[in-house]
Amino acid sequence: MVSGADDSKTPPLVSLMAGGVAGGIEAFTSYPLEFAKTRVQLRSQKGTPTPRNPFLVVTQVYQKEGLRALYKGCAALVVGSIAKDGVRFLFFDQIKNSFADPETGTLSPLRNLAAGMTAGVVASVTAVTPSERIKTALIDDARTEKRFKSGLHATRVIWAESGIFGLYRGLAGTTLKQASATAFRMGTYNILKDYEKARDIQQTTVINFANGAVSGIVTTICTQPFDVIKTRSQSAQGTSTVEAVKSVLIDYGVRGFWKGTTMRLGRTIFSGGILFTSYEAAVKIIQPLYSGTAHTIGAEA
């Protein structure tokens, strides 16, 4: 399993629920930094350079547009993150349980990465792409046309104009990003945890947060190009993955694929720690309740 207080396997429903809770908490608490990162990756208006410091971007938006502007598109990301992380933890836990060494309960580093990649692909198709498309379109629209009133309104407009394909604009880029990001994030976290487990290092909140933060650093550095392509594909007007790649090269050259890295690091270090710490805590709360309910139902049967 990805986490938990003991060595028992995490039931699928517990993985799904705990992952959803953790994803929602992580998305809401770190959203202003996600907002700043997305603003930087979108095409800037001529004569209006965007600062690289994420906290400066957040401050400027807050001063000019207010607190609500920093959470534009947040609802779409929170809903998507609840579904995304529920699915990611569910599939990762089940894959890990299936391929783990029966004696140690651990996976090789390569299998950890492969399990994360599989979970990322499933999450992208089922939840991430539509929610990311709406979130990115809202952030882009807020600085240009301002025609979207809310996430639901944006969904209706995009659906009316382009159908389901409009909501899945950027699927290839998003799936590449999710597959690689989940592989590195979940894989790195579990490699660290297996290493600590082999050396009898106690899993505390501080250790969980530190492992999550390290996994966030590794994930960001290795997957930033996919994130940039995904953001360009899912702007308010929308574009294909190939066109997104071309636009980045035209605007900034190869270095453009790592645009927003500093801002994303600010979020992923913070969010990685929150995500895994929240998941660990949620499992500890939900699993006993689930086990008690299952036991009661079994006894009545």
What CATH number belongs to 12-300?
1.50.40.10
Whether 106 shows a pLDDT value over 90: the answer reads: no
Q: For 193-218, how does the pLDDT look when each residue is reduced to its tens digit (9 = 90+)? A: 989 988 899 999 999 999 999 999 99
According to the per-residue pLDDT averaged within each range, which of 6-20, 39-53, 76-90 is highest?
76-90
Neighbour tally for 183: CB within 10 Å = 24
Q: For 123-175, how does the pLDDT look when each residue is reduced to its tens digit (9 = 90+)? A: 898 888 898 888 888 888 887 778 888 888 999 999 999 999 999 988 887 88
The mean per-residue pLDDT over the stretch 3-26 comes to 81
Q: How far apart are CA 47 and CA 286, in angstroms?
A: 52
Q: How far apart are CA 36 and CA 43, in angstroms?
A: 13
Residue partners of 64: CB distance under 8 A and separation at least 6? none
- Quickly state the pLDDT bin for 26 (edges 50, 70, 90): very high
The pLDDT value given to residue 6? 43
The pLDDT value given to residue 5? 39
Q: How far apart are CA 236 and CA 126, in angstroms?
A: 21
The pLDDT value given to residue 189? 94
The pLDDT value given to residue 101? 74
Q: How far apart are CA 160 and CA 177, in angstroms?
A: 27
The pLDDT value given to residue 3? 45
Neighbour tally for 21: CB within 10 Å = 20
Q: For 59-91, how does the pLDDT look when each residue is reduced to its tens digit (9 = 90+)? A: 888 898 888 888 888 888 898 899 889 999 998
- Is pLDDT larger for residue 296 or for residue 227? 227
- Quickly state the pLDDT bin for 49 (edges 50, 70, 90): low
Q: How far apart are CA 220 and CA 266, in angstroms?
A: 10
Question: DSSP code of 256?
Answer: G
Whether 47 shows a pLDDT value over 60: the answer reads: no
